[in-house]
Amino acid sequence: MIENKNIKKSWAEPFKIKVVEPIKMTTYEQRSKALEEAGYNTFLLKSEDVYIDLLTDSGTNAMSDYQWAGMMLGDEAYAGSKNFYYLWDNVRKYYGQPFFVPTHQGRAAEHLVSKILIKEGDYIPGNMYFTTTRLHQELAGGTFVDVIIDEAHDPDSTHQFKGNIDTQKLEDLFKKVGADKVPYVSMAGPVNMAGGQPFSMANLKEVKTLCDKYGVALWFDATRATENAYFIKTKEEGYADKTIQEIFFEMNSYFEGVWVSAKKDLMVNIGGFLATKNEKVYEEARNLVVVYEGLHTYGGLAGRDMEAMARGIEEMIEFDNIRTRIGQIEYCGQKMLEYGLPIVNPIGGHAIFMNARRFLDHITQDEFPAQTLAAAIYQDSGVRGMERGIVSSGRDPVTGKHRYPKLELVRLTFPRRVYTQAHIDVTVESVANVYDQRKSIKGLKMVYEPKYLRFFQARFEKI
Ligand code: F0G
């Protein structure tokens, strides 16, 4: 027999495939036609026409056999479903937040939190905006203020915790507008729009201390919090020997409440929730959830959905699971770097973000470089990503002008447990192919613009 040397260099998925879903390769001509019909917006493509779908990791994950088995145990009672109580138990146990209201997805929880906490004229500081989060804050009468560190807006900065809040910016805001005009500080981790960049535990503690000093509540968008916990474990001093569960629990402990899109970390196809230590907020959330979502024991979900969520929480917290998830993205990013492709540094948690400004440096921001690049990648290979730049950023509600974000990115997002390393190889080769032809690519003009969250449904034409 051999000795136990324990020198394993590679990791592999901690699961094997039991069910498969066929995907279809299309021709260049078919994709060109589909793209034109979709107004050069990857959100408007039919999923049937997509080969490798890296649009989002939201609700696109593969559930485990344990989760699917749970779906058969759905207690579809209108009130008091047993799946609701099991889910509540797990939210309490893993997130450490005692009060809980389910919602049909993340933005529904954002809606409730914003409506409950924000008054007309309030300011809500946060570590970079997220599209739906900011919109709900604005619709509730608030103004979002970005207090993330400057490095987050620089795709080339290699700062390891680009999701950190600049505490000086935060304190300046408290002093300028008065802490009574700040109902809560909104912290997300990893930060989606910055490239899936985490915050550190040290920064979180500093932010908490500052919030306490000014008597301001701290709330957490915990949508992908396990990824943040993984980065703390692997990058921050003092956390290497702690489990993901311990780090996750500690992170959540600093917040008065959390909102979650369960369609990410929890690896389900639909679901979300709000959980808090604040009993008053909970009481108001229970009042409002019956207006907008459904009874407070189902919040727009079926019993089976809540069972899959409860079981997803138990799986998301396993180290092998989260390492596989982030390992895949790391693999893709390293390959792209080998090809010399311009991506956001460091490689983030849920996606690879292509730096479209650098990629298509001959296209001005008014001609939508990231939108153009996402369309070109689809045309090349049927790989679908999404724009995260000027289109996603929208218009300033006061001036009505485009916001011009520093980051002009295309996101290639990885659903959990769905694609193999070979899919990644094909994706990287396609992006490299587009890069070789980049000089021949021309920009776009917007021909239809919806009022809210325009990136979802805007239409474009070739210039
Ligand atoms: N917060 C974050 C950080 C998100 O990434 C999302 C959704 C939400 C809240 C809203 O949750 O979709 O369940 O209503 N992000 C998806 C994405 C859509 O593709 O990044 P939801």
Q: Are residues 288 and 347 in the same domain?
A: no
Could you say which of 300, 316, 332 is where a domain stops?
316
Q: CB of 131 closer than 6 A to ligand 1?
A: no
Percent of the chain whose predicted confidence (pLDDT) is above 70: 99
User: Which residue, judged by its Cα, is nearest atom 8 of ligand 1?
Assistant: 106
Q: Which domain holds residue 434?
A: 28-50+319-462
Instruction: Please indicate, yes or no, if residue 145 is contained in any of the structural domains.
Output: yes
Q: Are residues 70 and 121 in the same domain?
A: yes
Could you say which of 286, 316, 346 is where a domain stops?
316
Question: Does pTM surpass 0.85?
Answer: yes
Q: How far apart are CA 303 and CA 300, in angstroms?
A: 10
Mean pLDDT value of segment 62-66: 98
Å from CA of 234 to ligand 1 middle? 25
Integer angstrom CA distances of residue 462 from 41, 50, 132, 304, 446: 12, 21, 28, 45, 9
Instruction: Please indicate, yes or no, if residue 441 is contained in any of the structural domains.
Output: yes
Say if residue 8's pLDDT is above 80. no
Query: What is the total count of domains within the chain?
Result: 2
Instruction: Please indicate, yes or no, if residue 400 is contained in any of the structural domains.
Output: yes
Q: Are residues 286 and 331 in the same domain?
A: no
Q: Are residues 84 and 46 in the same domain?
A: no
Question: How many CB atoms neighbour CB 89 within 10 A?
Answer: 13
Q: CB of 53 closer than 6 A to ligand 1?
A: no
Q: CB of 252 closer than 6 A to ligand 1?
A: no
Instruction: Please indicate, yes or no, if residue 191 is contained in any of the structural domains.
Output: yes
CATH number at residue 258: 3.40.640.10
How does pLDDT run across 244-295, given as a tens digit for each residue? Answer: 999 999 999 999 999 999 999 999 999 999 999 999 999 999 999 999 999 9
Polymer length of the chain: 463
Q: Are residues 259 and 332 in the same domain?
A: no
Residues sharing a CB contact under 8 Å with residue 384, sequence separation 6 or more, in sequence order: 42, 45, 50, 52, 53, 54, 55, 374, 377, 378
pLDDT band at 230 (very low <50, low <70, confident <90, very high): very high
Instruction: Please indicate, yes or no, if residue 57 is contained in any of the structural domains.
Output: no
Q: Are residues 183 and 284 in the same domain?
A: yes
Say if residue 111's pLDDT is above 80. yes
Confidence at residue 455, expressed as pLDDT on a 0 to 100 scale: 96
Q: Are residues 236 and 289 in the same domain?
A: yes
Q: Are residues 214 and 171 in the same domain?
A: yes
Tokens of 87: 């889910």
CATH number at residue 453: 3.90.1150.10
At residue 277, the 3 state secondary structure works out as coil
Could you say which of 292, 316, 340 is where a domain stops?
316
Instruction: Please indicate, yes or no, if residue 255 is contained in any of the structural domains.
Output: yes
Instruction: Please indicate, yes or no, if residue 15 is contained in any of the structural domains.
Output: no
How does pLDDT run across 122-176, given as a tens digit for each residue? Answer: 999 999 999 999 999 999 999 999 999 999 999 999 999 999 999 999 999 999 9
Q: How far apart are CA 93 and CA 235, in angstroms?
A: 26
Integer angstrom CA distances of residue 443 from 251, 262, 360, 372, 391: 43, 36, 9, 6, 13
Q: How far apart are CA 24 and CA 278, in angstroms?
A: 49
Q: Are residues 114 and 163 in the same domain?
A: yes
284 burial class (0-12, 13-18, 19+ CB within 10 angstroms)?
Answer: middle
Residue 66 and residue 272 in contact, taking contact as beta carbons nearer than 8 Å: no
How does pLDDT run across 362-391, given as a tens digit for each residue? Answer: 999 999 999 999 999 999 999 999 999 999
| CA 263 to ligand 1: nearest atom | 13
Confidence at residue 84, expressed as pLDDT on a 0 to 100 scale: 98
Q: Are residues 249 and 398 in the same domain?
A: no
Q: Are residues 308 and 393 in the same domain?
A: no
Q: What amino acid positions are annotated as catalytic residues?
A: 78, 130-131, 221, 264, 388, 455
How does pLDDT run across 184-195, given as a tens digit for each residue? Answer: 999 999 999 999
Confidence at residue 410, expressed as pLDDT on a 0 to 100 scale: 97
- Mean pLDDT, the chain, as a whole number? 97
Q: CB of 129 closer than 6 A to ligand 1?
A: no
Instruction: Please indicate, yes or no, if residue 300 is contained in any of the structural domains.
Output: yes
**Ligand 1 mutation target, pool 55, 113, 130, most atoms within 8 A of CB:** 130
Residue 190 and residue 231 in contact, taking contact as beta carbons nearer than 8 Å: yes
Confidence at residue 9, expressed as pLDDT on a 0 to 100 scale: 77
Q: CB of 127 closer than 6 A to ligand 1?
A: no
User: Which residue, judged by its Cα, is nearest atom 21 of ligand 1?
Assistant: 106
Residue 328 and residue 424 in contact, taking contact as beta carbons nearer than 8 Å: yes
Confidence at residue 404, expressed as pLDDT on a 0 to 100 scale: 96
Q: Are residues 426 and 310 in the same domain?
A: no
How does pLDDT run across 290-345, given as a tens digit for each residue? Answer: 999 999 999 999 999 999 999 999 999 999 999 999 999 999 999 999 999 999 99
